């Protein structure tokens, strides 16, 4: 148990309040679900590529050829991020 002391003022007189906080041994372990920076960049690039493919036939600002080119660049960026 970790002991935490907080100082508060009661009626102008400082007093200490003690709290007990349980130890969490799992906090010392690495989080298996956490991503490294390179993995996060690659995931972001792949999500951007997925977005471009999902909106391939939408009549928006970008033509389908431009969307395919962007998708290719996003996938290349994801591969480069994981290779470094």
Domain boundaries, the chain: 34-84
- Alpha-carbon distance of 84 to 82, in angstroms, equals 6
Neighbouring-strand partners of residue 22:
none
Contact 5, 18 (CB under 8 A): yes
Tens-place pLDDT, residues 7-47? 777 777 777 778 777 766 656 555 656 678 888 899 999 99
Cα–Cα distance for residue pair 33/17, rounded to 1 Å: 37
| pTM of the model as a whole | 0.57
Question: Per-residue pLDDT tens for 64-77?
Answer: 888 899 999 999 99
Strand-pair partners of 13: 10
Question: Is residue 58 pLDDT above 90, yes or no?
Answer: no
């Amino acid at each position: 148990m970790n002991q935490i002391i907080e100082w508060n003022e009661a009626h102008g007189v400082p007093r200490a309040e003690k709290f007990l906080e349980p130890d969490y041994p799992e906090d010392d372990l690495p989080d298996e679900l956490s991503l490294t920076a390179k993995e996060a960049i690659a995931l972001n690039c792949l999500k951007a590529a997925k977005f471009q493919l999902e909106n391939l036939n939408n009549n928006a600002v970008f033509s389908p050829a431009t969307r395919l080119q962007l998708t290719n660049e996003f996938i290349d960026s994801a591969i480069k991020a994981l290779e470094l």
